[in-house]
Each structure stands twice: as C-alpha cells, then as structure tokens.
Amino acid sequence: MTDKIKKQKINKIYDFDYLPYKKELSDILNNIHLAEDLDSKMFDKIVSQKVKGFDGVFSKQQLLKAYKGLKKENYSELKADDTILEKIKMKPTRTQSGITPVTVLTKPFPCPGQCIFCPSDTKMPKSYLASEPGAQRAFRNEFDPYLQTYDRLRAFKNIGHNTEKIELIILGGTWSFYPENYQVWFIKRCFEAMNDFGNEIDNTKNIKYKGLDKEKQETFEKTGEIIKNTHGKIHYNELIIKINEEIAENQRNAEQSSWNELFEQHKLNINNKTKCVGLVVETRPDNISHKEIIRIRKLGATKIQMGWQSLNDEVLEKNHRGHDVKATIRAVEMTRSAGFKIHAHWMPNLYGSNVENDIEDYKKVFEDKNFRPDELKIYPCSLLDSAELFQYYKKGLWKPYVFEDLKKVLIFVLSNTPQYCRLTRVIRDIPSDDIVEGNKITNLREIIEKEVDELGYVRNDIRSREIKNKKITINDLILKIEEYETSNTNEKFLQFVTDKNEIAGFLRLSLPKEKKHEFISELDNCAMIREIHVYGVTVNVGKTKKGRVQHLGLGKKLIAEAEKITKKEGWNKLAVISAIGTRGYYKKLKYILEELYQIKKL
C-alpha cells in the first residue's frame, strides 16, 4: 500500500462525522455490547445494516470514533460501556502481552560492525531495510523521534488499544555508537511525545527540524541503490559518513538536549496518563562497558537487546563480527549485574556453521551459565542483495538451508527453550521481495509450532504459555519458582501459572554472588528485581476489571514473595530497575529512588 493511499484512508477515519448517524450508531454499538460470544460472523451481521445517507457499512475505526464521541457527550441512547472496546478492537494480539509496544528507529548512522550477513540500506540505520513495516513508518516520519512516537500512539488509540502502558523500543544500528547528544535528544523527544499524547496535546505540526529532511532522504535513497547494485562491495559506512558530513549544521544543532531536559520529561511522565513502563535499546556486546551501562540506565532504559549471533569464535570471525565470545560473556555479566533484562539475538545458518553446529550452539545458550538470556530473537540468516555475503554465495562458499534443515534447527529451538525465557521472534519480518535466497515463509513460526506439537514435544518458553485474554480468578493460579545459576548471580523465576502451565505473571529475582557491586555503589548489599510482568490485555494503570489477569494483584503478590525470599537468603535491601512510568507504583510500595534504582530496606 502506497503512502498516498494510506494517507487517504487515515483522513477518512479522522474526517468521519458520526453526528448525522447518532441513533443508528448507538443501536449498532448497543447490539455489539449485548452480544454474547461475539464472533466475526455475528459482528458482521450487526454492522451490515444499511443506514440512510451512508455509503457502505461502518468500519471498526468509525465505530470506535463514534463510541468515544457519543460517550463524551453522554448521549442518552448509548447503553454500551467501555467493555465494548474489546469487542471492536482491531489487531487485539498487539497488546495481549500486557503492554503497548511502540517501536521507533534512529536515523542512518555509521556502525562499528563489518558483518558480512548484514544488509546495507543507506535509507535506514544499519541492518534494517526500508521495506520493513517499522522502517517504513520511521521513513515516513523522517526519523523524527517525536513524530514516530506520537504517530504510533495515535494509530493504536484509533484502533481501540490502550495507550497508558507503553514499552518504548528504540531500534537502529548500534545505539552505543551514536553521539551522546543525539541519544539524550532522541529519548527526550520520545518522552515529550508520550507526555503530550497523555495530555491530549498535538505538536506534530510544529516541528521545524526533523530527523532526516526530504532532501537528505533522497540522497540516502540514491546511495542505497549504489550499494544494492554492487551487492555489498561498497561499504555502508563509507557512504553514510559522507552524507552525514553534508547534513546542515542547524539540523545537527537541533539534535541536542541536556540531561536535565531529559530528566524533566522523566518527572512529567511519572504521573502522565501515557506512561513509559519499559525502555529498550539495542547494541553490540563489544560496546558494553561500565560507563555505557550507567549511561543507558540514566536514559531510563530497562532492557538491552544485544546481538550475540553465535557462541562460536570461528563462526564469529568468518562473518567479520568484530568481537569474540569472551566479549559476549563479559557484556552479559555486566548487563545482568545492573539489573537489565537481556534480550539476545541468535542467528542459525551463518557462514561457517551447519545444522549440527547450530543445534550445539543453541544448547550452549542455556546450558552454559555465562549466557541464559531472558528473551531471544531467532534470526535465520537470509541472503540480501546489499550484504557482502552475496559475494560468498556467488562463489559457492555459502548457501541458505533447505526447508527441512531449517525446520530441524527451529524444532530444536522451540522445544528446548526453558520456562524463564521468552522467544520474541523466530524469524525476522523481512519482505520476501528483499530476500534473494532463504526462508520466505512469513508464518514459519506457526508452521514449526504445529509440527513441534504434533511430535509431542513441549513448548515451554514464555510466549508459548502466555494467558493472553483469558478471564481467570486468583484461585485458578499457583505460584511456581524456577531457580537457575548464572556466572555472577543466582536467579529465581517466580511465576503464577494455571494447572495447564499457562503463565499469568512473573518476576525475575536476581541474587548476586558478591555483596559489593562491581561498579554501581548504590547496589552494594542489594538483591535485584529485574522484571515484573503480568500478562493479559492491557488495562489502565491503577484500575481494576473483573476477571482481568493484569488486576488480580499479581504484581504485588510477586513482589511480596520476592521480598520474603530476599530476607530468607540473607539480604537486607532489595532494588528494582524501575521504568520511569512505574516509579510511582514502586514508591507506594516503599521503594525509594536513589540515583539510578529504587531501593527498599527490608
């Protein structure tokens, strides 16, 4: 779908005037509200009635807009309440994990890596393609952080989703390699967008200097074709550095903010209606250091995505990764000790590997206590025409796995991931037109999951067990605790599950092996809550809804249990790596903000 068509459709939603059809719309909304076990056929039957003066039938977006408008004016004929929003919500799975994910991309920028498998699209930050959905949104908004964030929030709201609990995911190349001024400015502007959106203020039309103006976008597009046509012979960084040198000085000056300006936006977000309950950045293991960990934490981040790709030094070297496994081990240790959730990327089918080696490599991910990530993205290597790997392919040095080989690896992955890890993705969302050779099946995960189930294997990872939108009571749940050791901590994974092992909520409690922290003094003598997550459809902060998993008080119950375990294990302080938008929640539970963490004396 072209941007022009998208814009026309969006305008149709915004321009829709429900006032001439108030009576008919309220009747439709009331009937949807009263319908028991509403399925798509029944929904279509209710909305298919012809309305005089209206061409066609009302869309879900129009119904949502009408409901909000009729409710605001207290229209007497409207009997439906807010529970109707679930029935007419579009793409309900987007927020079934308990939060609303907002993904934004940084502008194109040089990357320290030279990886042969990585695409080089100069319209995008390194490793991303302009055809990917999130990348398209970023390009459309000229990589401006405020516009991207606000646009995504508005899109979620327009299709009926809750916009009170936001996980802000910042993607694009190597975050740690961007200048500090740009990092602070970028995140400050994302917070400004969330704060404005929560206060119903729209400043999207007042932005003078955007992340990448139209003229520079055209330059990036032309150079992107150069790389594509040479199949990676010309390196991405050479062209990006040259283009960035030409960017106007006033635009560079606009991409700067002070730390105090960011902290002010943090403070405003604590009590804002649209709260940031998680902040994610992505970087490379060799860019992690004590200083970098502290800076990322100051920005408000709670999770770090990190490209491991392989745990085999020979494979890393052959793919010009630029770091060894020791660097990954050290990065994981530092990141975990600071309380961050570790979201790793792992790539089967790299140059120099094979099916058997990949399976052995994946075993190491969880059998070796140096790793054991909290979340994983599995990205089977695909051949892209802008990647240097294309040259290896032409020489017959590498080829993608045939389907049966890829299936063998992924069956092993899905049936050998422990309960404490979430498999966020099993393939990357690359449009098939961009893939020269490799998997082009978009629902591959679904196919492999079905095969795993038919083979009688058990899928234990968190995503496979999420409760989603099921209504349950506290009596339906039991508390289970899984313990595992890492290189520098003893981890306790507390989870509320049903008798079918469906997960409703969990807490990651980390007990360091040393009382004195290696590089953050405020964490001396502290155990750490690294994550609390309650599943089910997103519900407003501080509100309750009957049967909703998010408001059975599971979070407080998990914290109380974590405090009990911490005391029993001989610790007198418990820290939490709280997101900016959850500081108020923890404050009520007597966790006091020091510098980077909220800490409670037990």
- The model's pLDDT over 32-43, given as tens digits with 9 standing for 90+, comes to 777 776 666 777
Instruction: Decide: helix, strand or coil at residue 598.
Output: strand
- In degrees and rounded to multiples of 5, residue 171 shows phi and psi of -115, 160
- Asked if residue 8 has pLDDT above 80, the reply is no
- Asked if residue 173 has pLDDT above 50, the reply is yes
pLDDT recorded at residue 218: 65
- Asked if residue 116 has pLDDT above 50, the reply is yes
Show the DSSP H helices in 368-480 as ranges: 389-394, 403-415, 444-454, 462-465
- Asked if residue 230 has pLDDT above 60, the reply is no
pLDDT recorded at residue 45: 78
- Asked if residue 400 has pLDDT above 50, the reply is yes
- The 3-state DSSP composition of the chain as helix, strand, coil percent (nearest 5) reads 45, 15, 40
At residue 157 the predicted structure's pLDDT band, cuts being 50, 70 and 90, is confident
Ramachandran sector of residue 438 (left: φ over 0; alpha: ψ -120 to 50; beta: rest): left
Give Cα 535 to chain centroid, integer Å.
15
At residue 538 the predicted structure's pLDDT band, cuts being 50, 70 and 90, is very low
Q: Which of 113-117, 167-171, 307-311 has the lowest mean pLDDT?
A: 113-117
pLDDT recorded at residue 289: 97
DSSP class of residue 422?
A: E
Show the DSSP H helices in 73-124 as ranges: 84-88
pLDDT recorded at residue 124: 87
- Asked if residue 559 has pLDDT above 50, the reply is yes
Please state, in angstroms and rounded to a whole number, the distance separating the CA atoms of residues 120 and 240.
Answer: 10
pLDDT recorded at residue 270: 97
- Radius of gyration for the chain, computed over Cα atoms and rounded to the nearest angstrom: 25
Give Cα 258 to chain centroid, integer Å.
26
Q: What percent of the chain has pLDDT over 70?
A: 86
In this predicted model, which residue has the larger pLDDT, 391 or 224?
A: 391
In this predicted model, which residue has the larger pLDDT, 136 or 188?
A: 188
In this predicted model, which residue has the larger pLDDT, 90 or 556?
A: 556
The one-letter amino acid code at 186 reads F
At residue 220 the predicted structure's pLDDT band, cuts being 50, 70 and 90, is low
pLDDT recorded at residue 233: 57
Residue 90: how many CB atoms within 10 A of its CB? 15
Please state, in angstroms and rounded to a whole number, the distance separating the CA atoms of residues 159 and 90.
Answer: 5
pLDDT recorded at residue 524: 97
- Asked if residue 166 has pLDDT above 60, the reply is yes
Within 8 A by CB and 6+ apart from 111, the residues are: 118, 125, 126, 127, 173, 174, 177, 236, 237
Q: What percent of the chain has pLDDT over 90?
A: 60
At residue 229 the predicted structure's pLDDT band, cuts being 50, 70 and 90, is low
pLDDT 10s digits, 496-516: 999 999 999 999 999 999 999
pTM: 0.84
**What is the SS3 string spanning 278-331?**
EEEEEECHHHCCHHHHHHHHHCCCCEEEEEEECCCHHHHHHCCCCCCHHHHHHH
Mean pLDDT of the chain: 87
Within 8 A by CB and 6+ apart from 374, the residues are: 341, 342, 343, 420, 421, 422, 508, 530, 531
In this predicted model, which residue has the larger pLDDT, 255 or 238?
A: 255
In this predicted model, which residue has the larger pLDDT, 537 or 160?
A: 160
Please state, in angstroms and rounded to a whole number, the distance separating the CA atoms of residues 524 and 207.
Answer: 44
Residue 147: how many CB atoms within 10 A of its CB? 23
Identify the structural domains of the chain with CATH numbers, from first to last: 3-88 (no CATH), 97-283 (no CATH), 284-462 (3.20.20.70), 466-601 (3.40.630.30)
Helix axes 444-454, 403-415, angle to 10 degrees: 70
Yes or no: say if 341 and 530 are a contact pair by the CB < 8 Å rule.
Answer: yes
